Chain A
Amino acid sequence: MSLSSGTASFLAMLAIGLALLVGAPMVFDLFALLQVTVFVAMAVLALSQGFIWGYGGIMSFGQSAFFGLGGYTYAVVAMNAGDSTGAVLLAILLPTLFAALLGYFMFYGRISDAYVGVITLTVTIILFSVFNSTAGDAYTIGNAPLGGFNGMPAVPPLNIPGRPDLPLEPEQLWYASMGCLVLVYGLLRGILASRFGRVVVAIRENETRAQLLGYDTRLYKLLVFAIGGGIAGAAGCLFTNWGGFISPTVFSLATSAQVLIYVLVGGLGTLLGPILGAIAIQYLISLLGAQQVINANLVLGVILAAFVLLVPQGVVPVLRDALARLRPPSHPRAKPGNGLPDAAGVEAKP
């Protein structure tokens, strides 16, 4: 029963996603379409954070590390190779491997949850300083100067695979970005519905019990963290493509904090929440950027504080519970307002 309602909600989400994919270029003008393209790239990053934190229970303050690494990898490889296909693959692979390596030391080293937060945060700060100090000719990889604080301008855009002479137009970049979001969402729903995903959620609920049942929780957390790293890398690749530019700012604390805010506002323990959170906050930032009365970071801080105090579960769980209460009482075991994230991809459990 719960499985079928989970499948129904998944298909509904997929349909909405595909409708937006096709419909947005018809509704929006070019400027607006470019804006939603970057919102969508940030939504992919938010999904990576939402997956490892909301489902894996891993408190990473450093998803921006994998995001930036993906962006830089894309830029360096695309500038050298000309064709973007290998650059995209490496922009996903390298952050995945980096996350796996970092995860190995954290999870197999039995580091406690709080220190996982500290370590991921530190890694981001280290990468920020490293890429900040890459100014000058010494820091050139092939044809690609890293450029220090100024970053890397004129990064070649995505092209039709195998055809470097056919770069994507802004409208096509929208299709690629939104397609990536739909794909990542589908992938994560699939993972969460699988046996692997159910064990991941169980480990979040009680790691000791999972161990005592014979599950190697270190391996599961390592895999979750690596998958999250790969998704963040893909988001970084999209982000770099959007602006044709990348700089060390992607590694900044502000980026890491923004991702956390997306997830908290949208709802921890859901996949829809981080997507909506990312888009809403990004839209708000772009509105605030157009005026000079209030500082944008101040507003973000107020929003974060307000949500943590007033709506700690985030928007999506609150709406879902409200919907559950409105339904006819044929579901005697509805569990409104318990604040617990749902298991394994079942976002609308009766």
Chain B
Amino acid sequence: MTPLIQAQAATMRFGGVTAVNHVDFTLGEMELRCLIGPNGAGKSTFFKMLTGQLVPSSGAVLFRGRDITGAAPHEIARLGIGIKTQVPNVFNGLTVRENIAIAAARGKSVQQARRITEETLTRARLTGIAQRVVGQLAHGQRQWVEIATVLAQEPELVLLDEPAAGMTHEEVLRTAELIREINRSQALIVVEHDMQFIRMIARRVTVFNQGSILVEDDVEAVLANQAVRDVYLGKQAA
């Protein structure tokens, strides 16, 4: 079976720095994968390569067997990949509803777009603040608005870069719940630092370190892995 998304020896170099080094990565349909690793391990860079924000220096990215290496971000988004970026990218001057409506509108009829907007507001529990201007919301709420815009575009693959950052404990629980719910119909890759959060949602985990994949295994095995503990504690023994 063709994997949903596949990276083949994907490499990203910035001058003399290799941020992502020959990464081979495969995600199946409807899979939920967690990506962990210390700061600077190349997780966000890898996401940018999958979404066309960065063009790989070498290697290839395939979406359902189709080569999308070097495609523009909007072309990749149209194929069905949605991303919540690490630093929230939202329309700060617009209201919550307008943010979601813009995401829902592309390629849809007016009625469809309206229905998706209202459904997404309910699903992300944003109905109460739908008329608020996003720039005035708390960080955690802005994160939810961004997740909601990603959902409103109805992608087949959802990429979430640190979705729980800056959230209260209660918000984190709700985010984990939402991720499990999304996974009933869509595939996800989630980058996260919070180990408790990883435990809540993960089945399979890929560990990045210094631009390469260190381990890829089930969550319990990864969390018990000595090499993973070492890189997280800053001992570069692998």
Selected contact of A338 from candidates B102, B133, B146, CB within 8 Å: B133
The reply to whether the CB of B82 lies closer than 8 angstroms to some CB of chain A is: yes
Give chain B's interface secondary structure class. mixed
The reply to whether the CB of A341 lies closer than 8 angstroms to some CB of chain B is: yes
Selected contact of B105 from candidates A195, A206, A341, A343, CB within 8 Å: A195
Chain B residues, CB < 8 A from A198: 98, 101-102, 105
Q: Are B106 and A214 in contact (CB under 8 A)?
A: yes
Q: Are A212 and B73 in contact (CB under 8 A)?
A: yes
- Once A198-B102, A206-B92, A209-B90 are accepted as A-B contacts, the answer to whether A214 and B132 lie under 8 Å apart by CB is no
Selected contact of B153 from candidates A213, A335, A343, CB within 8 Å: A213
Chain A: which residue is nearest B89 at the CB level? A209
Smallest distance from the beta carbon of B75 to chain A beta carbons, Å? Answer: 8
The docked-state distance in angstroms from the alpha carbon of A209 to that of B93 is 13
Q: Are B74 and A216 in contact (CB under 8 A)?
A: yes
Q: Are B77 and A202 in contact (CB under 8 A)?
A: no
Q: Are A212 and B105 in contact (CB under 8 A)?
A: no
The reply to whether the CB of A199 lies closer than 8 angstroms to some CB of chain B is: yes
Chain A: which residue is nearest B134 at the CB level? A205
Chain B: which residue is nearest A207 at the CB level? B89
The docked-state distance in angstroms from the alpha carbon of A294 to that of B95 is 47
Q: Are A333 and B131 in contact (CB under 8 A)?
A: yes
Q: Are B82 and A209 in contact (CB under 8 A)?
A: no
Interface residues on A, range: 20 to 34
B-facing residues in A56-86 (Cβ within 8 Å): none
Q: Are A340 and B89 in contact (CB under 8 A)?
A: no
Selected contact of B92 from candidates A199, A205, A210, A214, CB within 8 Å: A205
The docked-state distance in angstroms from the alpha carbon of A340 to that of B133 is 10
The docked-state distance in angstroms from the alpha carbon of A199 to that of B105 is 9
Most buried by B among A195, A202, A209, A211: A209
Most buried by A among B93, B101, B153: B93
Selected contact of A217 from candidates B74, B92, B106, CB within 8 Å: B74
Q: Are A214 and B93 in contact (CB under 8 A)?
A: no
Smallest distance from the beta carbon of A209 to chain B beta carbons, Å? Answer: 4
The reply to whether the CB of B3 lies closer than 8 angstroms to some CB of chain A is: no
Can you name 25 A-B residue pairings with CB atoms under 8 Å?
Answer: A195-B105, A195-B110, A198-B102, A198-B105, A199-B105, A201-B91, A205-B91, A205-B94, A206-B91, A209-B89, A209-B90, A209-B149, A212-B51, A212-B53, A213-B77, A214-B78, A214-B153, A215-B74, A215-B106, A216-B74, A333-B132, A340-B92, A340-B133, A340-B135, A343-B98
Could you tell me which A residues sit within 8 Å of B by CB distance? 195, 198-199, 201-202, 204-206, 208-217, 333, 335, 338, 340-341, 343-344
